[in-house]
Amino acid sequence: MRTISPAVLIFVACAVCTVAFHERAAFAQERAATPDLKRARELDQQGSRAFKDGRYKDAITFFGEAFRYGAPPVELWNIAKCDLKLDEPEQAEESYRQFLAQPDLTAQDRADATEQLGELRGRPSTLAIDSD
């Protein structure tokens, strides 16, 4: 049996995370040319159901698509909450950043997201590698 060095495992893990991050970031940048608020509401409802059922990856997809179809920036906040449930703090941080980059946030929304981002950055992180 051939073993793989820890350096190779770390490289592969970083590459996979980078690809997943760029795929997910696309919905925040590619808003539909013509908003479809009915479709956005449907997707938001599906995302809420998925979140309640603990299907956080599905919820991320639904919330991201809802945002793309013209739903308000709160969808990005919802995605950050899913990221946290999945214990993916780096992606949660990016979701909060995308939320904060939206021009039409209320002062309270901006303050809440800034606070959440600060708490997230203060969290200790761990890296576990299993090389069986």
| pLDDT 10s digits, 99-128 | 999 999 999 999 999 999 999 888 776 667
Q: Please write down the long-range contacts of 98-102, taking CB distance under 8 Å and 24 or more positions apart.
A: 98/25, 98/28, 99/73, 102/73, 102/76
Report residue 38 as tokens: 């009915």
What pLDDT digit, counting tens, does each position of 61-90 carry? 999 999 999 999 999 999 999 999 999 999
Cβ 59 vs Cβ 93: under 8 Å: no
69-79: b (≥16 Cβ within 10 Å) or e: bbbbbbbbbbb
Cβ 50 vs Cβ 27: under 8 Å: no
